[in-house]
Amino acid sequence: MDVEDSLSENLSGEEPSVSDSESAVSSCSYEQFHLFDEGLGLVKLVEGEKVYDIIKRKFMMSFERLGVQASVVSIHKHVYLGVKEQARLNSFQIYAKAVENKCGGNANIKYSWFGGSKDDITKIVSYGFGLHEMSQNNGLYGSGVYLTPDSSPLESACNSPVDKDGLRHLLLTRVIMGKSEVVPIGSEQCQPSSEEFDSGMDNLQIPTKYIVWSTHMNTHTLPEYIVSFRAPPSLAGFVRTKRQPCEPTSPWMPFPVLISELSKFLPPQSVSLIRKHHEAHKERKISRNELIQRLRHLAGDRLLIAIIKSFRTKMAL
């Protein structure tokens, strides 16, 4: 599996290519960052290196776009040099090849973020994901590890507490997505719904979460970089106020009619969940805004907008 194509495609677009795992080690500084134990196999990247600059630029752009003042302190690469580490890398490559063959030549490998404490992240680098990482995601989308796309580090940063040195830490990991399925809020899944799928997303068009099932979390992920940074104390507020593109805000389509139309496009499980959320709203258990947010997660903005526009067009005739 070639890191160059994956990192270049997901983090840099048309940026210059990045070297693969073996050659990247030779170009990096071997100075160990004092916050991390030397036994972790981390190599500190130097500002000015292609990989460092690509990751930092992508990271900073995402924060600045939302008005968040942040600064990158260091970026470390996890190198797979020991016997155990090489076995872990080889295992990831074998699974990537298997998913590639299954999916017609594209394993759909992406870069994604995971936020946690410094201790959490060092344990993941050493041993992989575990029950602790699964427990902190509140189980909204089933049993697994929730990652955020490479374009959305802020969402993961909200789960990264400040350490004793005033730093937060994010893990940038490769993940084999294969073919993804939509996972509705409230799902109790712990594995793909069928052999057709390999992973989950909250929204296939504009995903904000990648769901890696507990059965796949240490075969389909490969931790590669740790980004240490400084940011404001409260980041959750920036995520809550983030503007979503093309939000369906029309109040003129009755929910029962909307649900009826959605049933023509969505699987019965999703429609059933939408009806439950609607009943919860009528019983004043959830707010209208919360109902709309759950509806958007289940149906996706593109479908909702299309249905609402079609309804308004018919009403205008």
Q: What is the pLDDT along the chain (317 residues), one digit of tens a residue?
A: 444 454 545 454 433 333 333 333 333 444 444 667 777 889 999 999 999 999 999 999 988 888 888 999 999 999 998 899 999 999 999 999 999 999 999 999 999 999 999 999 999 999 999 877 665 656 678 889 999 999 989 889 988 999 999 999 999 999 999 999 998 877 888 899 999 999 999 988 889 999 999 999 999 999 999 999 999 887 766 665 554 444 444 445 778 888 888 988 899 888 999 999 888 888 878 877 778 888 888 888 888 888 887 776 665 55
Please enumerate in sequence order all residues whose Cβ is within 8 A of that of 141, keeping only pairs 6 or more positions apart, or say none.
Answer: 183, 184, 185, 187, 189, 200, 202, 209, 211
Strand (E) or helix (H) holding 149: strand 144-149
Beta strands 109-116 and 144-149, pairing class:
antiparallel
Q: What angle do CA 252, 255, 257 make, to 5 degrees?
A: 90
Q: What angle do CA 134, 90, 172 make, to 5 degrees?
A: 45
Strand (E) or helix (H) holding 84: helix 83-102
pTM, two decimals, is 0.69
Position 88 scores a pLDDT of 94
**Residue 240 corresponds to which tokens in the numbers above?**
């809550």
